[in-house]
Structure 1
C-alpha cells in the first residue's frame, strides 16, 4: 500500500514538473514576435520608424497609376472577370504593401485602405454579383429525401430492440 502511495506521489510530482515546463515554454513564446526577436528589440526598432504620410500618398498614387494603366489595356467589360485582372491586382497589392513599408509606414493603414476602396469604387462598382435563387427540388425527390432517413432510423431502432431481445434468450 505504501508503495502505491509513493508511486502516486512521484506521478503527481512528474505531472506538476511537466506542467511547469510546458507553461514556461508557452510564456516564453509570448515575449517573441514572428521573427523570434525579443519584444524589446522590436519596440526599439518601432520607435525609430516614423511614417512619412506625404511620401506614402505619393507612392500609393504611383501604384494606382500603374494599376489603372494595366486595366485600361483590358476592355472595361472584362474588369469584372477576376481571372483576367488577378495578376494586375496582385501586382497592385504587392506594390502598395512593399512601397508603403519602404517609407516606414505600416501596412495596412487607414489612408492606404481608403485609396484601395476608392480604386474599387472607380473600377469595380458595376461588378455586382447576381444572386442565385435556390428552389426546392421536385416533390418526388423531396419525398424520397425525407422518407429514407426516417425509415432507416426506424429500421435501426427495430434492429437494436430485436438484437437485445435475442441476447436475453441466449443468456
Structure 2
C-alpha cells in the first residue's frame, strides 16, 4: 500500500513539474521579443491608421471598430506565430496603454457624447414648456392622484 501511495505521489509531482515547466516556457516565449513584435508590427500600423482618422472621431466606435479589430487580430497572429499563449499579461498591458493614449477621453459606452437630433429633442422641449404654462397643469396634491401610481 505504501508503494502505491509513493508511486501516485511521484506521478502527481511529475505532472505538476510538467505543467509548471510548460507555463514557464510560455511565459518566457512571450517576453520582450513578443512585446517588441506587437509594437513594431501591430502598433505601428494602428498609429498610422489613427493619424489618418480625424482625432474628433477617435471616440466614435463606428469609425474605430475596424482599426481596433485589426490591432487585436494582429496581436493574436503574432502570438500564434511566436507560439505564445493569447491573451496574456503583455497583451493586457499593451491594450491598457493603447486605451490610455487614444481613448482616454471617451465615454464608457464608446459613443460620442452629444445631444440627440432636434427632430427628437424638439418635441420633448415643446411638450415640457406647454405643460409648465398650461392652466390645466396644476395638480392638487390633496387629490390623491399619486396613490394610483402605487396600487
Relative to the length of structure 1, the TM-score reads 0.48
Q: Which secondary structure does the structure 1 equivalent of 2:85 belong to?
A: coil
Cα 1:126/1:147, change in 2 over 3 Å: same
Unaligned runs of 5+ in 1: 1-42, 131-137, 151-171
Select the residue among 118, 123, 128 that pairs with 2:97.
118
For the 8 Å contact 1:56–1:103, the answer to whether it is kept is yes
1:149 CA drift (Å):
7.5
Report deviation, 1:52: 4.2
Aligned counterpart, 1:104? 83
Structure number with greater CO (CA < 8 Å, separation at least 6) is 2
Higher mean Cα deviation, 47-56 or 80-89? Answer: 47-56
What pairs up with 1:1-171 in 2 under 5 angstroms?
51-61=29-39, 62-129=41-108, 147=148, 150=151
- Displaced runs of 4 or more, over 3 A: 46-50, 143-146
Question: Cα deviations across residues 52-71 of structure 1 (Å, max 9, x unaligned)?
Answer: 41220122102011111111
Gaps of 5+ in 2: 1-18, 114-130, 132-136
Residue-by-residue CA offset, 1:7-62 (whole Å, 9 max, x unaligned): xxxxxxxxxxxxxxxxxxxxxxxxxxxxxxxxxxxx7xx57756141220122102
More off after superposition, 96-105 vs 65-74: 96-105
- Structure-1 separation of matches of 2:147 and 2:84: 58
Aligned residues: 102
Structure 1 contact 59–100 (Cα < 8 Å) conserved: no
